[in-house]
A and B are shown apart, each in its own frame.
Chain A
Amino acid sequence: DAGITQSPRHKVTETGTPVTLRCHQTENHRYMYWYRQDPGHGLRLIHYSYGVKDTDKGEVSDGYSVSRSKTEDFLLTLESATSSQTSVYFCAISERGLGAFFGQGTRLTVV
């Protein structure tokens, strides 16, 4: 299994609070991604990174920001959490873009 760890695995937070999710990899892969998975929508790309300090928006980036200061860490921040951001968040890594390896997910509930 690819070395990819997400933290926390579960989180409940209140509307309006900032939240940061962490993804850590030990594979030295260039590409890292954040997806969210919702019933009826499948997985949708939030942001991705193609190197240290190199990031770009995905399909559903509004309300989210990311940072990658080291190859191994990719942080996703919900600037002011809303109920619509209740979801399961997955981090993924890939090298050469030919197949991704996913973390176990973070279940986030915004109340």
Chain B
Amino acid sequence: TQLLEQSPQFLSIQEGENLTVYCNSSSVFSSLQWYRQEPGEGPVLLVTVVTGGEVKKLKRLTFQFGDARKDSSLHITAAQPGDTGLYLCAGDLSSNTGKLIFGQGTTLQVKP
């Protein structure tokens, strides 16, 4: 059962464009995490959001946790080719035990 819907699944854009990736669920999460994965490597944690309505920024990346803690978004400003990769959202349903439910991922390609 897929509890976390991530969209879009694929995104191909030009350098300098902005983009937003969405992660939606009917479940309430104790935390929501975003990861980035390169081919042949494990996912790397970008951010964890815990509080409903929370916004975190990491350079050109902005992460938002929905007020009801059921959804999240990742916004990238002025994308660069180095942003190319697989972006994964993951929700923790179980009060910080770390058991994660992952979205299917968004494959981002940024063309020079």
- A contact residues vs B (CB 8 Å cutoff): 31, 33, 35, 40-45, 48, 50, 58-59, 90, 92, 94, 96-105
Question: What band does the interface of chain B fall in when counting residues whose beta carbon is under 8 Å from A?
Answer: 20 to 34
Contact among B40, B98, B101, B102 with A97 in the assembled complex (CB-CB below 8 Å): B98
Contact among A31, A42, A101 with B102 in the assembled complex (CB-CB below 8 Å): A42
Known: A90-B42, A103-B42, A104-B42. A48 touches B98 (CB 8 A): yes
Contact among A40, A48, A96, A102 with B44 in the assembled complex (CB-CB below 8 Å): A102
* Measured CA separation A92–B90 after assembly (Å): 13
When distances are taken between beta carbons in the complex, the residues of chain B under 8 Å from A50 are 97
Contact with A along B20-59 (1 / 0, CB 8 A): 0000000000010101000011111100101000000000
* Measured CA separation A31–B99 after assembly (Å): 9
* Measured CA separation A102–B50 after assembly (Å): 20
When distances are taken between beta carbons in the complex, the residues of chain A under 8 Å from B42 are 90, 92, 102-105
